[in-house]
Amino acid sequence: MNREISLERFAAIVDAYGASPMRWPADERGAAEALLAFSADARALLDEARMLDGVLAAAPVEVPSDALVARLMAARPRPATPVPAGKPRSIFRELISAIWPYGSPAIPAGALAASIMLGIALGSVSEIAVLNGSQIAAASGESEADERLIALALADIDWPEEWIQ
Amino acid sequence: MQEASDDELVAAVARGDGQACAVLMQRHLGRIVALARRMMGNQADAEEVAQEVFLRVWTNAEKWEPGRAQFGTWLHRVAANLCLDRLRRQRNTVDIDEMPDLVSGDPAPDQRLEADELAARVEAALQQLPERQRAAIALSHYQGLSNIETAEILEVSVEAVESLLSRGRRQLRTLLATEKDGLLRSRETSA
């Protein structure tokens, strides 16, 4: 149903939305078009608005670049990797998976083995040895001061309670 | 795939369907770039905004609820908000000397240059509008969204949209008076 609109309201419509009825408010479009049919003033307002629309239509238009499309396609979501349906896992693999649920158990196992081997190799080639207090004193010239220092370091000390807490 | 609805395409995007991504871009990317171009005033910034919009689509496709909103309107809302955010950040850093000159410049010798010149002047005039007036004109006039959709995107009333549009068009009429007269003269000559 088309309700009538005043010339003043028609002027406000074309002032805001321009000359194309497609842009006019849907609930007033019919009434505005009806007014045009018999109002020369309405048609003059429409011509004025059409002129500005014509200028605005000259605004530049560029299609999206191929580079943009390529970037977006490269960043698109990917399908989730399906879990291969194979033979059921062994108890050993289940156990490893329970201990290390983050992926291949070869990773932590390999790292552990490598660190053990490195430790053994370093221990066998270095001159570092485990010495007791008296051996250390002998190695460092058996000075009394050294002995006192070592004795102090190795002594069982009753640490004040507040240090421990 | 071409006949699929936007909602169906977004669901397929969430599953990692590359063809759905391509169709969704084919359907909407050009319009989002055009909106951002009207708002930002240059193609490089417009493409950056459009890229951000679609990256959000890729990231949030799983959370899209079909039927809750029009996908196209949602895209426009995201794009308009990103543009307004960027414009706010740029506001204090724009050098007035870098603004395009609307009144200087001799008429170009051939028609192609004339068209380019006119396009540049219209774009420059749009850039002189306050951001929200520009957004209203970009959404309503250039993108063809209804006054209700424009109001939803800008989070204002329909009356406020109408006011933004009126003030924007009035300012454009003043800024582009020379171009409007030129268009009128050329029509009279060709008639």
Q: Where do the domains of chain B lie, and which CATH numbers do they carry?
A: 1-94 (1.10.1740.10), 100-191 (1.10.10.10)
How many A-B residue pairs are in contact by the CB < 8 A criterion? 117
Cβ B24 vs Cβ B57: under 8 Å = yes
Q: Which residue has the higher pLDDT, A47 or B102?
A: A47
Nearest to A27 by CA among B61, B147, B188: B147
pLDDT surpassing 60 at residue B117: yes
Higher-scoring residue by pLDDT: B108, B20 = B20
Are B141 and A73 within 8 A, CB to CB? no
Contact assignment for B30 to A63 by CB distance below 8 Å: yes
More confident residue, A103 or B171: B171
HSE value, Cβ hemisphere, 13 Å, CA-based, for B59? 6
Q: How high is the pLDDT of residue B105?
A: 47
- Which of B183, B184, B185, B187 should one mutate to test binding to chain A, selecting the residue with the greatest count of A CBs within 10 A? B183
For chain B, the first-to-last Cα distance in angstroms comes to 48
Best of B173, B175, B188 to disrupt the A interface (most A CBs within 10 Å) is B173
- Best of A51, A55, A63 to mutate (most B CBs within 10 Å, chain B): A55
Mean pLDDT confidence for B35-60:
96
Average pLDDT over residues B67-80: 92
Q: How far apart are CA A26 and CA A33, in angstroms?
A: 11
Q: How confident is the model at residue B177 (pLDDT cuts 50, 70, 90)?
A: confident
Q: Give the per-residue pLDDT at A97.
A: 60
> Which of B103, B74, B89 minimizes the C-alpha distance to B177?
B103
- Residue B54 banded pLDDT, cuts 50, 70, 90: very high
Q: What's the pLDDT tens digit per position in A53-97?
A: 999 999 998 999 999 999 999 999 988 776 565 555 666 666 666
pLDDT per position as a tens digit, B136-161: 999 999 999 999 999 999 999 999 99
Contacts of A54 in chain B (CB under 8 A): 180, 183
Q: How confident is the model at residue B23 (pLDDT cuts 50, 70, 90)?
A: very high
Distances (CA, A) of A72 to A66, B168, B174: 10, 34, 40
Q: Is the pLDDT of residue B84 over 70?
A: yes
pLDDT for B3: 87
* Complete DSSP assignment for B50-82: HHHHHHHHHHHGGG--TTTS-HHHHHHHHHHHH
Per-residue pLDDT, A76: 93
Of B58, B123, B144, the CB nearest to A75: B58
Residue type, A143: S
Are the Cβ atoms of B169 and A58 closer than 8 angstroms? no
Low-confidence ranges of chain A (pLDDT < 50): 1, 128-131, 133, 136-137, 139-142, 152, 156-165
Q: Which of B152, B144, B132 is nearest to B85 (CA)?
A: B132
- Give me the DSSP letters along A6-73: -HHHHHHHHHHH-S-GGGS-HHHHHHHHHHHHH-HHHHHHHHHHHHHHHHHTTS---PPPHHHHHHHH
Query: In the prediction, which pLDDT does A63 show?
Result: 94
Tokens of residue A56, six digits: 């605005």
Angle at B142 between CA B136 and CA B145, to 5 degrees: 65
User: Of the candidates A132, A114, A133, A131, which has an alpha carbon nearest to the alpha carbon of residue A122?
Assistant: A114
- Across A93-102, B52-61, B110-119, least confident range: A93-102
Would you state the torsion angle of the CA atoms of residues B116, B118, B119, B123, taken in this order, to the nearest 10 degrees? 140
Residues from chain B contacting residue A15 (CB–CB below 8 Å):
166, 169-170
**A80 contacts on B by Cβ (under 8 Å):** 16
Q: Is the dihedral of CA B154, B158, B160, B163 positive or negative?
A: positive
| Residue for token pair 């991504």 | B21
A64 with B50: Cβ contact below 8 A: yes
Work out the pLDDT band at B178, boundaries 50, 70, 90: confident
Average pLDDT, chain A: 75
